[in-house]
Structure 1
Amino acid sequence: MGIFPILAVIGMIILTRLHFIHCYVINTDKDYSRWPNKIVPFIFTPGDYSTAEQNLILTAMSTISTDMGLCIQWLNLSPSGIPYPNLNFVIISRSGGPGIPSPVCYSYPGMITIQNGLGQHMSIQASCMSSVREVMRILSYLIGLRPEHNKPNRGSYITVNTGAATTVAVNAGAFNLLPNTAAILYNPNEFDYNSITMLSPLTYSASGAAVITSTTSTAINNIGRLSIRDCQALSFLYSCSITCSDYYGNGALPTQFTRATTLSTSPSSTVSSSSTPAPVSVLCSPNFIADAVFNDYNAHKLYFISNNLVYVVQNGQIIENGTPLSTDFPGPAPVLPIIAGYYSGGSVFLVDQNQVTFLYINNTFVSQTPGSFPAVSAATGYGNVVTLGINPNLAVILYVDTNGDISSVGINPSTSPKDLASLFTSNAGLFNDLNNNNVQEMYSVIDASGTEKVAFLYQVPGKPLQYFDAVPCVPDTVLDPSGQVCLKLSTSPRNFASTIAACNVPP
Structure 2
Amino acid sequence: MEAVKLIVAFVCLTGVSALPSARLEKRAALNRDTRYDVWANPQRILFRLDTNYNGTEAADIDDAMNQISSDMSSCIRFSPFNVVTDSREDHIFISPVLNSGVLATSCSTFPGRLVRQNGQGQKMIMTAGPGGCMSAKRDIMAVLVSALGLRNEHKRPDRDDFLQTFPSNILPDLQSLNLLRIYNASQIEFRSTAFDLLSITIPSASRFARANTVLYTPRDATRTLGNLARLSVGDCNALRRMYPTCSSITCRNPYANATLASVASTSTNAPASGNAPTSTSAILEAVQSAAGASGSGLVIANTNTVGATTTSTSTARTTVAARAATTTQSGPVESPFDGLEFALRPQA
Among 252, 258, 261, which residue is 1:245 paired with?
252
**Could you tell me how far 1:161 is from its partner in structure 2?**
2.6
The CA RMSD measured in Å over matched residues stands at 3.3
Cα drift, residue 189 of structure 1: 7.7
In 2, the alpha carbon distance for the partners of 1:333 and 1:191 equals 39
For the pair 1:25 / 2:29, whether they are aligned, the reply is: yes
Question: Once the two structures are superposed, what CA deviation does each residue of 1:300-342 show, in whole Å capped at 9, x if it has no partner?
Answer: xxxxxxxxxxxxxxxxxxxxxxxx974xxxxx667945869xx
SS in 1 for 2:239: helix
Distance in 2, matches of 1:85 and 1:335, equals 23
Number of aligned positions between the proteins: 242
Counterpart position of 2:199: 195
Relative to 1, partners in 2 of residues 1:206 and 1:55: Cα closer, same or farther, differing over 3 Å?
farther
Letter in 1 for 2:117: Q
Q: Please, which runs of 5 or more residues in structure 2 have no aligned partner?
A: 1-23, 258-311, 330-348
Per the alignment, residue 72 of structure 1 pairs with 76
Contact in 2 for aligned 1:42/1:90 (Cα 8 Å): yes
Q: Structure 1 residue 94: deviation in Å? A: 2.1
Instruction: Name the aligned partner's letter for residue 125 of structure 1.
Output: T
Superposition map of 1:410-425 within 5 A = none
For residues 454-496 of structure 1, the C-alpha deviation after alignment (integer angstroms, 9 at most, x for no partner) is xxxxxxx9xxxxxxxxxxxxxxxxxxxxxxxxxxxxxxxxxxx
Among 70, 83, 107, the residue aligned to 1:105: 107
Q: Which residue of 1 aligns with 2:183?
A: 178
Where 2:30 maps in the other structure, the secondary structure is: strand
Deviation of 1:186 (Å): 3.1
Higher relative CO (Cα under 8 Å, sequence separation at least 6) belongs to 2
Of 164, 167, 174, which residue of structure 2 is paired with 1:162? 167
Displacement after TM superposition at 1:118 (Å): 0.8
Say yes or no: does 1:223 pair with 2:206. Answer: no
1-side partners of 2:25 and 2:231: how far apart? 16
Alignment partner of 2:46: what SS? Answer: strand
Q: Which residue of 1 aligns with 2:65?
A: 61
Q: Kindly name which structure, 1 or 2, has the bigger radius of gyration based on alpha carbons.
A: 1
CA distance 1:335–1:234, change in 2 (3 Å): closer
- From the two aligned structures, give the one with the greater helix fraction: 2
1:152 aligns with 2:147: no
Residue 224 of structure 1 and its aligned partner are, at CA, apart by 0.8
Paired letter, 2:38: R
- Residue 244 (structure 1) shift: 0.7
Structure 1: unaligned runs, 5 residues or longer = 1-19, 251-323, 327-331, 341-381, 383-439, 441-460, 462-507
CA contact (8 A) 1:27 1:144 kept: yes
Amino acid in the other structure paired with 1:56: D
Q: Once the two structures are superposed, what CA deviation does each residue of 1:101-138 show, in whole Å capped at 9, x if it has no partner?
A: 66632111111112111111121122211211111111
* Maintained 8 Å contact 1:23/1:192: yes
Contact 1:97 1:122 in 2 (8 A): no
Matching residue's letter, 2:91: F
* TM-score normalised by L of structure 1: 0.43
Q: Percent identity?
A: 29
Q: What one-letter code is carried by the residue in structure 1 that aligns with 2:207?
A: T
CA distance in 1, matches of 2:41, 2:159: 33
Give how far 1:234 is off. Answer: 0.2
C-alpha deviations, 1:188-212, integer Å up to 9, x for none?
8831111111111222334242223
Distance in 2 between the 1:70 and 1:168 partners? 43
**Cα distance, 1:339–1:91 mapped onto 2, change above 3 Å:** closer
Partner of 1:141: 146
8 Å CA contact 1:153–1:188 kept in 2: the answer is no
CA distance in 1, matches of 2:168, 2:97: 26
* Distance in 2 of aligned mates of 1:157 and 1:209: 19
Say if 1:60 and 1:132, in contact at 8 Å, map to a contact too: yes
Cα pair 2:107 2:127 within 8 Å, conserved = yes
Task: Name the TM-score, length of structure 2 as normaliser.
Answer: 0.61
**Is contact 2:109-2:124 (8 Å) kept?**
yes
Amino acid paired to 1:71 = C
Counterpart CA distance in 2 for 1:325 and 1:50 is 14
Q: Identify the residue that residue 210 of structure 1 maps to in structure 2.
A: 214
